[in-house]
Structure 1
Amino acid sequence: MKRLLNALYITRQETYLHKERETIVIKQGDEKLGQFPALSLGGILCFGRVSVSPFLMGYCADQGIGLAFYTQYGRFLARVQGRENGNVLLRREQYRWADSPDQAVSVARLTVGAKIANSRSVLQREIRNHGETSLLRQAVDELARSLRRVRSADSVDAIRGMEGDAAKTYFGVFNEPLKGSGFAFGGRVRRPPTDPVNALLSFVYSLITQECTSALQGVGLDPYVGFLHKDRPGRPSLALDMLEEFRAAWADRLVLTLLNRRQIQLKDFETDSTGAVRLKEEPRKRILTAYQERKQTELLHPYLEEQVPLGLLPHCQALLLARHLRGDMKLYPPYVVK
């Protein structure tokens, strides 16, 4: 099992990273800002105007250290990828599954079912903690009906439609868990986000997508060929498939915690000339710290029945998916909160 290594988040602008023996050095001009053992790092995420030496890029690719680049505001740009892992037989099997309507729908059905079940769990948790409202009860019941419909869906297109309807139901009451936070949410808006809650959701989703991409590559799967999301140049479709399992249980709950505990406030956002809402630099650092801390939280994996850190969930699920595609497991067990 992959160790849960530290991630290095570089948010200070005009910084430069290079390798010095077995360490990674961060500099700004002539000033050394930090030096870290390379063997202790699982990933390096660079935000904004951050430069990395070609030699360090090659080293990261060779050692399997994830190196990803984002805009200053957290939009994913690119990642450095080394030699492909795994054997060609697994990937050929993955491509055959993706091209087979019956096989693709069997995985997509489980993935979306897990997303709906986990979304429902977030709302049920709100009811347990703060009491039931008519809106929450209606949404919970509707998600239960959506879950039953997905289980009998016979095409990927039908599943996509059901997933969209369930997401609309879930986000239609997302204001309920935000009570007292000072934030208002009118629905999911992407590309670009036009309010603070959407900006924060998109930022955390982007982080977890890169975790999923690295995990899939680590077991030899192609993160760009999925079963639910359509193929599109540059889109990590399989990583986005896997993200669906983690949206509510990992990302949304983290966002709700940050907002309801007032760790992030309205003043931490800014609006650019296009109307897009972005996180400012300093609060983005706080979010990354909270995100890294949340990754260390241990939980009982519902299928493996072992205590694992939250940050290893993508690696667990990638391994289970690879076993399923190889024929070692009859069904793929998606991550569902119990």
Structure 2
Amino acid sequence: MHLLNTLYVNTQDSYLRLDNDTLRVLVDDETRLRVPLHHLQSVVCFGRVGVSLPLMHRLAEEGMALVLLDENGRFKARLEGPTSGNVLLRRAQHTQSMDAAFALGIARACVAGKVRNARQVLLRGARDSRSEADAAALTRGAQDLAATLRALPDAGDLDVLRGLEGEAARQYFDRQPLLVKADLRSVFSMDGRTRRPPRDRMNALLSFLYSMWMNDCRSALESVGLDPQVGFLHVLRPGRAALALDLMEEFRSFADRLALSLVNRHQVQEDDFIVSTGGGVSLKPDARKAVVVAFQERKQEEVQHPVLKQTLPLGLVPLVQARLMARAIRQESDESGLVTGYLPFLVR
């Protein structure tokens, strides 16, 4: 699958080799794909994918990155030659992070993606609700988030923007319990967002799903050569992957929707959690496995990407968004010659 001149290899036990000026993908010694090297900027391999040494050498010579991720999309390694633009991209990223206007623009896009996608969750819940009172409350919540979206362009600095984002999150989580089926709310109710540790079952489930999306976003950023530690919306702190947190904002709604689906369909139940004496709540090992399986299955579902104008698995969207963010940081122009800012992935 080609995304922005990157070849993503998902088929397990496949093997990549060099055939003159062509990359050949073999599965069980059968050629499944041939790609001229001049069509590629990089190659990303998921899981058990073999790569011949001659192909590694050629990719390095041509300045094309070879990125190795595990089957879950977590970053493992990156091979690149001496002509790679990785250092230049990171220098541009560090420079742009200190430009207040540029940082505010990227941060505003991240918040807009988060709030707009959260609003879609509430609107869908209102449409599906069997209670008129719940539907009305969810609709009011969606209207509140719409007001936040209208206010974002007037946010003059990061502190104001973060205040709007925080208020939108509070409004969203105030309505989130109404998305749980009525007979399950006593078990899966939540009084706002809590973490470190989560204080109820729904927060524990959300935290686990958020952590997996966080890992995917960090892997995606490293795959395209960005520094996951240097972000725009989130404050820089030692050991904090601020840019990965920035990128993850637009994917939180996918975690929320999966959590609600697992709960409402009884795939995750009351006894799947451990409540510690200190009040913290966590998933049991078997429940964690079930959630991981559901997460991986959800990532295989195809979505329409509004920028690429093509259908692709949800699991590849963070990689596409990371490359779009790299383009914005480089201030590259589009096909019409215009320099565009970062465009978040929006849920329909």
Following superposition of structure 1 onto structure 2, how do residues 143-292 of structure 1 map, counting pairs within 5 Å? 143-180=145-182, 182=184, 183-248=188-253, 250-292=254-296
The answer for the alignment partner of 2:102 in structure 1 is 103
Distance 1:155-1:6 versus aligned 2 partners, 3 A rule: farther
Q: 1:6 to 1:169 in 2, by over 3 A?
A: farther
Report if the CA contact (8 A) 1:181-1:259 is conserved.
no
Letter in 2 for 1:134: A
| Residue of structure 2 equivalent to 1:53 | none
* Superposition deviation, residue 5 in structure 1: 3.2
For 1:269 and 1:5, how far apart are their aligned partners in 2?
Answer: 33
Instruction: Tell me if 1:332 matches 2:338.
Output: no
Q: Which amino acid aligns with 2:289?
A: K
Q: Name the residue aligned to 1:129.
A: 128
Q: Is the contact made by 1:270 and 1:280 (CA closer than 8 Å) also made in structure 2?
A: yes
Task: After TM superposition, give the deviation of residue 212 of structure 1 in Å.
Answer: 0.5
5+ long unaligned stretches in structure 2:
1-5, 13-44, 50-65, 333-338
Match of 2:317 among 304, 313, 325: 313
Kindly state the Cα deviation for residue 40 of structure 1 after the two structures are TM-superposed: 5.6
Q: CA, structure 1 residues 42+255, in 2 after alignment: closer, same or farther (shift >3 Å)?
A: farther
Any idea what the Cα deviations from partners look like across 1:129-178, whole Å, max 9, x if unmatched? 22553321221111111111112212111111100000000000101110
Question: Normalized against structure 2, the TM-score is what?
Answer: 0.75
**How many pairs are equivalent?**
279
> Following the alignment from structure 1 to structure 2, what is the Cα–Cα distance between the partners of residues 323 and 255?
32
Q: How well do the aligned residues superpose, as a CA RMSD in angstroms?
A: 2.3
CA gap of 1:164–1:4, structure 2 versus 1, over 3 A, is farther
User: Following superposition, which runs of at least 4 residues in structure 1 exceed 4 angstroms of deviation?
Assistant: 78-86
Q: Verify the 8 A CA contact 1:67 1:79 in the aligned structure 2.
A: no
AA aligned to 1:261 is R
Q: Distance in 2 between matches of 1:110 and 1:125?
A: 23
Q: Distance in 2 between matches of 1:145 and 1:295?
A: 31
d(CA) in 2 for partners of 1:158, 1:40:
40
Q: Which moved more, 1:100-109 or 1:82-91?
A: 82-91
